[in-house]
Structure 1
Amino acid sequence: MPPQRATLMQVAQRAGVSRSTASFVLAGRHVDMRISEDARQRVLRAAQELDYRPNLMARSLRTKVTRTIALVSDTLASDPYAGRAIQGSLAAAVARGHLLFIGETDGDPVVEEKLISDFLDRQVDAFIYASMFTRYVRVPKLLKDRPVVLLNCLTRGARPVQHQIIPDELTAGADAAKVLLRAGHRQRVHLVGTPATKVFAGRERLAGIRAALADEGVKLAGVVECDWWPDSAYEAVSRALDDGFSPSGLICLNDRIALGAYQALRDAGRSVPQDVSVVSFDDSELAAWLRPQLTSIALPHYQLGWEAVQTLLGPVRDPAVTRLPMPVRVRASVGRPPVE
């Protein structure tokens, strides 16, 4: 049988203090309760010698606080790349002395309702409601009046009801354009990828690109429309090159598109960055695998998860949308424009 865990009374007896004094010391309340430093040290030493651990179940029944958080996501947990948000959330929860439960719904509202109900039955203190892709959501009714932070998603309305932590896609788009502008690209800069208005990231990135170019008196030369996957990008860029397409710089809406564009350029005898410079978004593992390595604007997954937990457990303040910076990872895919 496992050894019996030490009790608070045993700690108090070894330290030669009352049970309430030992409780106050271990709860960090020795100052406001005016407990002497000698008594505090005796309690801490006794707790260490006895390997005392507080009974969290008993504490939660007494205080109605379980020091637990539930993260409910669509497909965030099972995605190896976006899973960095889980790591950030876990790290922040541990730093705050909380446990983090994780539930994935695969976008099924029935599964979502069951998961949230189960978490509520376990008296979870607070929730993070997360999305794989930045999008607008409706917060489930079961979470109404509960402490909730939205991770990588938003609600519609003039004023947010919950805190919402998202990547700053608008500034990221501007930064991608500035990378090419600083390298001297002022003509024949094209976007690759269909910036559908319903896709939040694409819409924000395009707006940022256009704004940064406009600030320098430059216009986007055109858009090579394709799905956000390598094969679609390869086919679209290949067709354009066959029709006389001659870009100086390409801004790809994600790294998968950039992979397809790389292959199309190579097959057409164009070199990166000697003939065409390429900038992308996401900074997935593809960016470092490509040759030359791809300049990409990183999605701050880890920081999103960390900030969501810190906001959830931090001081109470009015709900707001927090946009986290997307770092620019400059690599070898950008050079000076080719000499005409």
Structure 2
Amino acid sequence: MADVALRAGVSTTAVSLILNNRQGTRLSDDAAARVRAAADELGYRPNLTARALSTQKSHVIGFISEQVTTDRLASGLIRGALQEAKRQGHVLFIAETEGEADAVDEAVDALTDRQVDGIIYAATRPQTLRVPARVGNTPVVMLNAFSDDVDDAVLADEFTGAQDIVDLLLDAGHADGIVILGRSLDQPDDEWLTAAVQRRLGGIWSSLERHDVRPIAQLPCQPWSVKNGYEAVHDLLEAGIQPQALICLNDRLAFGAYRALSEANLTAGRDVAVISFDDDDIAVYLHPMLTTAAAPFEDMGALAVRLLLDEDHERGEHLVPMPLRVRDSVHLTRARAAQLAASNPEPDWTR
């Protein structure tokens, strides 16, 4: 700082005020320009450790990942957090645990030792996670996860997203022959029945019951993979049951369903409506393009950062809407198209 002051011809106090963007000083614009130019020429960088000791803020956010870093879809949580942290002048320090309990403890120690301003604890699949007591007074926000030890959790609004999915399907006229692919409501609880899955199923059934509609079949399969989606729909068709509409509990199941339909000479969006969740990148490259409720991972990551840096926010669950990506895999039934045409006749241009 003394070197910058000497080159710019000002005091070290002036350099500190200018480089820290202090408002209300009487320093001229010319002096500020000389200081910034001198800092650039000399490669000056502030001592962040000293600044942290002075301000009690490190401008670093810790991000503990439960396999988020290695998941193509869920990595959007990191992208959103990175972008928002940068916008607010913070750096993201990421620690991957691979789901190992010891690794979580080590990650917490590494982050708190570096005096991060807060920790975001994120998971690929919504689940309840243990937050070590050694986190102390460091603020924590759960991201796509829950914890009995933390008040704040950022989650996708699965229930409303599922209701929107079913409402769209029924509004297109597909009230008969609906099949739910991925899980049966009657299925016993297991490791795959997370709170998020319960909410997704709850939203589906809430909308179906509101319209007095019952599915003709529920096809449980774990995990929700392309292979399992294919086999479940293939077996259904082999049994002589042709659905009018498939509600797939994630896009991977829908990808498998597309193949099974194609092998049976059926076309999604023409013979069978297909609707899903997540908005995987591949969804827009299917033919026809897949209608799906998007997992809002980037928005969730950004919100987690904002909550962490806002000491006055209201604690609790913070639900992020799932945007509905309406594409070609859901078609109007003939009956529904005729109904809409009757209620909205074409204008008579001959008058």
Q: What is the TM-score when the length of structure 1 is the normalising length?
A: 0.88
Asked if 1:192 is matched to 2:181, the reply is yes
| C-alpha contact 2:15 2:35 (8 A) present in aligned 1 | no
**1:100 alignment partner in structure 2:** 92
Task: Report the secondary structure of 1:271's partner residue.
Answer: coil
> What is the aligned partner in structure 2 of residue 4 from structure 1?
none
Query: 1:85 maps to what in 2?
Result: 77
The question of whether the paired residues in 2 share the 8 Å contact of 1:133 and 1:153 is answered with yes
Residue in 1 that maps onto 2:235: 239
1:275–1:337 CA contact under 8 A, matched in 2: no
Aligned pairs for 1:118-267 within 5 A: 118-156=110-148, 161-194=150-183, 197=189, 198-227=193-222, 228-267=224-263
- Between 1:89-98 and 1:236-245, the stretch displaced more is 236-245
Residue 109 of structure 2 is aligned to residue 117 of structure 1: yes
Matched residues, number: 326
Deviation (angstroms), 1:57: 2.7
How many angstroms apart in 2 are the aligned matches of 1:46 and 1:21? 9
The one-letter code sitting in structure 2 at the alignment partner of 1:308 is A
Give me the whole-angstrom Cα distance separating, in 2, the residues matched to 1:243 and 1:164: 44
Opposite residue 321 of structure 2, the aligned amino acid is: P
| CA-CA distance at 1:102 after TM superposition | 0.6
Contact 2:173/2:335 (CA < 8 Å) preserved in 1? Answer: no
d(CA) in 1 for partners of 2:141, 2:240: 49
Q: For residue 283 of structure 1, what is the amino acid of its counterpart?
A: D
Report the AA paired with residue 106 of structure 1. Answer: E
Provide, for residues 199-223 of structure 1, a one-character-per-residue CA deviation record: whole Å limited to 9, x for no partner.
2332211111121223333233331
2:32 counterpart of 1:43: yes
SS at match of 2:68: coil
| Distance across 1 between alignment mates of 2:219 and 2:72 | 29
Deviation at 1:339, TM superposition (A): 6.7
Alpha carbons 2:307, 2:313 under 8 Å: kept: no
- What is the deviation of 1:294? 0.8
Residue 128 (structure 1) shift: 0.6
Q: Contact conserved, 1:161 with 1:319, CA < 8 A, in 2?
A: no
How far is the alpha carbon of 1:229 from its aligned partner? 1.2
CA–CA separation in structure 2 for the residues paired with 1:102 and 1:161: 19
* Structure 2 CA distance for aligned equivalents of residues 48 and 220 of structure 1: 70
For structure 2, the residue ranges without an aligned partner over 5 or more in a row are 337-351
1:284-306: CA deviations, max 9, x gaps? 12312322111111111111111
Deviation at 1:338, TM superposition (A): 6.0
The whole-number CA distance in structure 2 between the counterparts of 1:200 and 1:303 is 20
Whole-angstrom distance in 2 between the partners of 1:37 and 1:59: 22
- The superposition leaves residues 242-295 of structure 1 with CA deviations (integer Å, 9 ceiling, x where unpaired) of 222121111000111111111111222222111110001111123123221111
Hey, what's the Cα distance between the residues in 1 that align with 2:27 and 2:107? 47
Q: Give distance in 2, aligned partners of 1:336 and 1:60.
A: 60
Letter in 2 for 1:211: S
Which of 54, 62, 71 lines up with 1:62 in the alignment?
Answer: 54
1:14-41, CA deviations, whole angstroms, 9 ceiling, x for partnerless residues?
555543343233323332xxx2252x55
Match of 2:294 in 1: 298
Superimposed CA distance per residue, residues 24-83 of structure 1 (whole angstroms, 9 cap, x where no aligned partner): 33323332xxx2252x55134322343143222322243342211110011001112211
Alignment of 1:326-337 (within 5 A): 326-337=322-333
SS in 2 for 1:112: helix
2:60–2:116 contact (8 Å) kept in structure 1: yes
Confirm or deny: 8 A CA contact 2:275 2:291 kept in the other structure.
yes
Q: 1:283 aligns with which of 279, 284, 302?
A: 279
1:275–1:338 contact (8 Å) kept in structure 2: no
1:184 positional shift: 1.3
Q: 1:30 aligns with which of 9, 13, 23?
A: 23
Give the direction of change, closer, same or farther, for the CA distance of 1:145–1:62 in structure 2 (3 Å limit). Answer: closer
Q: Distance in 2 between matches of 1:293 and 1:133?
A: 25
Gaps of 5+ in 1: 1-6
Pick closer, same or farther for the CA change 1:135–1:338 going to 2, 3 Å. Answer: farther
The worse-fitting range, judged by mean Cα deviation, of 135-144 and 306-315 is 135-144
| Amino acid in the other structure paired with 2:26 | S
Aligned-residue identity in percent:
37
Instruction: For 1:73, give the aligned amino acid.
Output: S
Output the CA distance in 2 between the equivalents of 1:29 and 1:297: 46
TM-score, length of structure 2 as denominator length: 0.86
